[in-house]
Structure 1
Amino acid sequence: MKINRLQTFLLWSLMGVQVLNLSGCQSDSGGEETSSSIAVTSSAPATTTTVTATSYTWQLPPGFPTPLVPEDNPMSEKKVKLGRQLFYDTRISANNTFSCGTCHQSAKGFSDGKVTPNGSTGDVHPRNSMGLANVAYNSVFNWANPNLKTLAAQALVPMFGESPIELNWSGHEEEILDRFRYDAVYRDLFVQAFPDSAEPITDMNVAKAIAAFVSTFISGNSAADKASYQGDTTAMSESAKRGRELFFSERLECFHCHGGFNFSQSTTHDKSVFTEIEFHNNGLYNIDGSGAYPLDNHGLWEFTFKPEDMGRFRAPTLRNIELTAPYMHDGSIATLEEVIDHYARGGRLISSGPLAGDGAKNPFKSEFIVGFMITAAEKTDLINFLKSLTDWEFICDERFSDPFGNQLPPPHCLQ
């Protein structure tokens, strides 16, 4: 009996063995695929620089592995509590107008619904706000930075970044920290979160607390999870089940970039044998037929300057994808229907204007973006599968809500 990739995926899931590398980009012979879409920047064992926390109790969905925790930022309930306050407090920006939660709203899967966000001073960011579900499992962060390998390091980017300015800490660091130093509640929260620090209220500890809080954003109770991991055969509609078959088929190739339990290949955890980091060019642009991407959105090329890395970006998780529109690294595709059309064509055609070009002919495009035929009914099934990845238990979890009450829960959470 021939077992397809979907059956293998479900079988290993039910056995409690994680499938991070199961549907990775490998050849039929079992060797590593020499794909032009992949840039593996680290093949070291996943545990060389990180360890799992033993003093913190994770609330993990059934079948999920334990996230890795940096040695210099162990998890604690006190740190998570502080991080939640900081994440939603607008005093974390120089002008008291923006918080992390401004661009990462629970109702939108911890994205913001904009094509690209603006920072606290009005600077427009060139990249779309990513959802934050399961970031604790990421092996790298942001859309195309191979060097950001911890959440605390990532948090420093919106804090201190100057192009674009987001929270605007550069030149305002002491001013912002003083807001927390002279707040009795925050002084106590920092001391409890960092009891061994002589000076607990620092920029690095702000980043570490936010990282600890965001690490708890674990989503794994969607209808698809309940069907795959929890034995609930009625959790998914028949249409979604057909869409699942399409998603894991060689015809559509979706799973090559969005595989494993987190539907993203750049994932690591306590069961990982090695750290996997991947970036892909999906044929979104091909300016003047040269393979170029728009200014400020060159992807991995911005770090390597290798021609073949032009337009390569990390494939994010597809969890809660129906809530995180618009899509792609620059938010340039509005709906899931249009996303499927893009991949069905094998790349996007822009007929006129400064970005004109046929992405299907991009010389650096991933070999997995080849196009496919899909009927209207199949398209509906595929979208229903993607919607089955929405985890309302996660979205409505009060542990992740705004403690200041500025962000209301989505209507679905009030039903």
Structure 2
Amino acid sequence: MSRWALAALPLVVACHGGEAEPYAWRLPPHFPEPWVPDDAPMSEAKVELGRHLFYEERLSVSGTISCGTCHVQALAFTDGRATSIGADGHAGTRSSMTLANVAHQPTLTWGNPVLDTLEAQALVPLFLDVPLELGAQYVIVDVLEEMAADEYRARFVDAFPDQDDPFTVGNVAAALAAFQRTLSSGDSPYDRHLRGEPGGLSPAAERGLALFESSRLRCAGCHGGLLLASDMRSADDPEATARFENTGLYDLGAGGGYPPPNVGLFEFTGESTDMGRHRIPSLRNIAVTAPYMHDGSIADLDGVLDHYAAGGRTLSDGPWAGVGADNPNKSPLVAGFELTAAERADLVAFLEALTDEAFLVDPRFSDPTAG
């Protein structure tokens, strides 16, 4: 099944009517309420069903992995791998993105500009064939029959009380989306600094923030705003759009090429200038989400700083050899800079101050079946 087909699928299977009781958001005090589609009302019961389904291994063809396998809470809902491993044991092609504050992201993958609802996104890991992730298409009919007869019965009925038969693929996606909308992370030292609370940034992190926002480094030119990303969608700004940029990670054939299939926005537009342009990710909790970049090809924060300081990565040999700094499609903001050892340490201190330790252990987001 193609990504385009999956993007359209929710229009057929994920819509549902009925009224739900008002949902009480528990957001950081400086965060706006996220945008929620009109046909996807939030409820406590739906969120709790989604939490159980997020960690439900029966939704995979192997019965051994779940959404929570590739999105580990302690790693800000990433998985610590360059690319995730599917239910068939094979590696995928992209790095697992953090789900922290995913409800506020205008689009939801590295390269797809039209996949912009969590209901639609939930169908991708469930049913995508190439690369295969969960492989739910091979087991979903039997699993839903089992759930209608076990402890899930009451959870589905409570989550979708207006439906005679709530055991549908669309409702699985809707519940997963509802749970993911609650994954708010906004209590890092940086957040306490933004709120003017005592015990915010250390002196080193404050110096690092000044560097981050400086015209010399221009990090904030891409990683700005509350999410330290390109933009932020909310109930007050539902039309926010994401930015996609080429950072000079590759330059195959000295012509701007990127290793297939990770060609970024080019996959959807066919425009040569979109080759290698990927969505700007949020930097929140960045210190715990290594390895980095869309393909996990940079191991640590020092490597990331090396990449940007050079204005693009040079690979001297191998199939992807090239001078990324010369990529013709590279963002002009990736121009390179020099850092002293002390400045590098300060910048890393700031990036580490983006970690929300409470989020990484919040029981509201944990596996409900874990001992």
Q: TM-score, length-normalised on structure 2?
A: 0.93
Aligned match for 2:162, one of 196, 214, 218:
196
Gaps of 5+ in 1: 1-52, 407-415
Corresponding residue for residue 245 of structure 2: 280
Corresponding residue for residue 101 of structure 1: 68
> Hey, what's the Cα distance between the residues in 2 that align with 1:237 and 1:271?
33
Matched residue type, 1:363: P
Alignment of 1:130 onto 2:97: yes
Equivalence map 1:226-375=2 (5 Å)? 226-229=192-195, 231-272=196-237, 274-375=239-340
TM-superposed CA distance for 1:170, in Å, is 2.5
> Hey, what's the Cα distance between the residues in 2 that align with 1:191 and 1:309?
45
Corresponding residue for residue 107 of structure 2: 140
Equivalence map 1:151-190=2 (5 Å)? 151-183=118-150, 185-190=151-156
TM-superposed CA distance for 1:369, in Å, is 0.4
- CA deviation string 1:103-124 (max 9, x = no partner): 0001111100011111011232
Gaps of 5+ in 2: 1-19
- CA deviation string 1:25-83 (max 9, x = no partner): xxxxxxxxxxxxxxxxxxxxxxxxxxxx9811111112111101111111100000000
* SS class of match (1:282): coil
Corresponding residue for residue 24 of structure 1: none
The percentage of aligned residue pairs carrying the same residue is: 51
Matched residue type, 2:353: S
> Hey, what's the Cα distance between the residues in 2 that align with 1:233 and 1:385?
16
- Residues 107 and 241 in structure 2, CA contact (< 8 A), matched pair in contact too: no
Corresponding residue for residue 45 of structure 1: none
TM-superposed CA distance for 1:175, in Å, is 2.0
- CA deviation string 1:130-166 (max 9, x = no partner): 1110001011111110111100100000111000111
> Hey, what's the Cα distance between the residues in 2 that align with 1:202 and 1:263?
36
Matched residue type, 2:205: A
Aligned residues: 352
- Residues 266 and 314 in structure 1, CA contact (< 8 A), matched pair in contact too: no
Corresponding residue for residue 209 of structure 1: 175
> Hey, what's the Cα distance between the residues in 2 that align with 1:59 and 1:186?
25
- Residues 94 and 176 in structure 1, CA contact (< 8 A), matched pair in contact too: no
TM-superposed CA distance for 1:233, in Å, is 4.2
Matched residue type, 2:343: E
* SS class of match (2:278): coil
Corresponding residue for residue 60 of structure 1: 27
Matched residue type, 2:105: N
Corresponding residue for residue 22 of structure 1: none
Displaced runs of 4 or more, over 4 A: none
- Residues 110 and 130 in structure 1, CA contact (< 8 A), matched pair in contact too: yes
TM-superposed CA distance for 1:182, in Å, is 2.3
- CA deviation string 1:305-333 (max 9, x = no partner): 10000000001111111110000000000
